[in-house]
Amino acid sequence: MTHEQLSRLLEQTEWSDEDIVRVLALTDPEDCALLQQAAYRRTTALMGNNVYYRGLIELSNVCTYDCRYCGIRKGNHALKRYTMTLDEVVEQAVWAAEQGYGSVCLQAGERDDPKFVDFVTRCLRAIHEATVSDTLPNGVGITLSLGDQTPEVYEQWAQASGNRMALRYLSRFETSNPALFEMLHTGGGKQQKTLEKRFECFNSLRQSGYQVGTGVMIGIPGQTLEDLCKDIRLFQQLDVDMIGMGPYLMSQGGDLQEIGQMEPEPLLQLSLNMIAVVRLVMGPVNIAAATALQAIRDDGRELGIMYGANVVMPNLSPQSYRTGYQLYDNKPCVNDGPMQFASELERRIAAIGRDIGWNKPGSSLRWCQRVGVEE
Ligand code: 5AD
């Protein structure tokens, strides 16, 4: 393909599977630069110049599942488990609100017992109460990343959040390839998760008014470019509002060392290509520049933004807990304080021509269009 042909292809809004796979496969630096520029331009044209922060609070690493790729899976007995106190969680959220982040994301290992459900409910109420102010009249926006729950639990949390206009849920389906999904989720000899269950959860989340986000891991050994293309088709079919995707990285605490991982450089490029293609194919959804990008290269997240991402999730968890939340090896910022990270990140984001959407909810434009609201 000549550069002219590629440039023309990148302007299209309806994509064939063949074109998606072709663009995912790009490795030539000049071709990749064309892709990067096209995705960045499309992002700006659709949604302007803002990048939104979600302050990430990893409130517990206790997990009841055994996903084989994940460093905090239940079967990793070497890991010391923690759960933050309600006060610690609220303190982090208030800090984020005071910094102007506009929203926070609560993430944890998966639990669905009543004690945990109730703890999250109390955190949500307290965060809302503590963050309503003149600058944030509806309190801080809330994103939850807490796994499969019942429709009743999703609804209970939605009510407790006090702010349904900036209420979001992240739940990656990891891969649309059924055999690969099964392999990844068959820990301790039995299959623990199904794609169908995840999709049911998306429906319940929609019913309760959440902006729904999903995503996949990129470059899992055995995953093909055609698989990634199918992942994108599924994003379209589910008509999701937000996407979070990052490279698959080996984890010492996981149970999959034998499959290895891709070489860092091609893995990073594939991940960036995937972000760019999703932007070009899906239009005005929110796309996060995943932390895992930064595990490969120091400026990985900025590269994600250059390839079309518009959300970053700075980690707010107190330093003492960070080593306990390593989903994969070489997780960055394990030794950074949130202040240090934030000021450095702001400078880096400005350097690539984006502004931070301070004190804004930063809702998915796709969601705003679907429900007919303006931000
Ligand atoms: N490499 C990359 N991403 C991972 N996650 C978990 N373990 C890994 C890993 N080894 C991602 C999964 C999960 C999210 C919380 O973290 O996609 O949905």
Is 90 exceeded by the pLDDT of residue 337?
Answer: no
Find the domain containing 224 and state its range: 53-371
Query: What pLDDT shows up at residue 64?
Result: 96
Shortest-distance atom of ligand 1 to CA 254: 10
From ligand 1's centre to the CA of 217, what distance in Å? Answer: 7
Each residue of 196-253: pLDDT tens digit?
999 999 999 999 999 999 999 999 999 999 999 999 999 999 999 999 999 999 999 9
Residue 333, pLDDT above cutoff 90: no
Q: What is the pLDDT of residues 254-302, one digit of tens each?
A: 999 999 999 999 999 999 999 999 999 999 999 999 999 999 999 999 9
Q: Is residue 317 part of a domain?
A: yes
Of residues 321 and 184, the one with the higher pLDDT is: 184
Q: pLDDT value at position 174?
A: 98
Residue-wise pLDDT tens digits, 11-35: 998 999 999 999 999 999 999 999 9
Residue 14 lies in a domain: no
Question: What's phi and psi for 326, nearest 5 deg?
Answer: -100, 95
User: How far apart, in whole angstroms, are the C-alpha atoms of residue 218 and residue 289?
Assistant: 13
Residue 106: its pLDDT value, please? 98
Q: What is the CA radius of gyration of the chain?
A: 19
pLDDT of res. 238: 97
**Beta-bridge partner residues of 107:** 58, 145
Domain of residue 149, CATH code: 3.20.20.70
Residue 25 maps to a domain: no
Is 24 domain-assigned? no
The answer to whether residue 98 is domain-embedded is yes
Whether 17 is covered by a domain: the verdict is no
Structural domain count of the chain: 1
Is the CB–ligand 1 distance for residue 248 below 6 Å? yes
- The phi, psi pair for 128, rounded to 5°, reads -60, -50
Ligand 1 center–CA 220 separation, angstroms: 11
> What was the pLDDT predicted at 242?
98
Residue 31 domain flag: no
Q: Which two tokens stand for residue 94?
A: 């208030």
Ligand 1 centroid vs 249 CA: distance in angstroms? 8
**Distance separating alpha carbons of residues 67 and 75, to the nearest angstrom:** 9
| Distance in Å, CA 10 to ligand 1 centroid | 29
Q: How far apart are CA 367 and CA 363, in angstroms?
A: 7
> Is residue 41 a part of any domain in this protein?
no
Task: Please report the sign of the dihedral spanned by the C-alpha atoms of residue 99, residue 41, residue 304, residue 224.
Answer: positive
Q: Residue 191: what pLDDT?
A: 85
**275: part of which helix (H) or strand (E)?**
helix 264-282
Q: Is 69 in the pocket of ligand 1 (CB under 6 A)?
A: yes
Residues 162-171: what's their mean pLDDT?
Answer: 96
Distance CA 321, CA 80 (A): 10
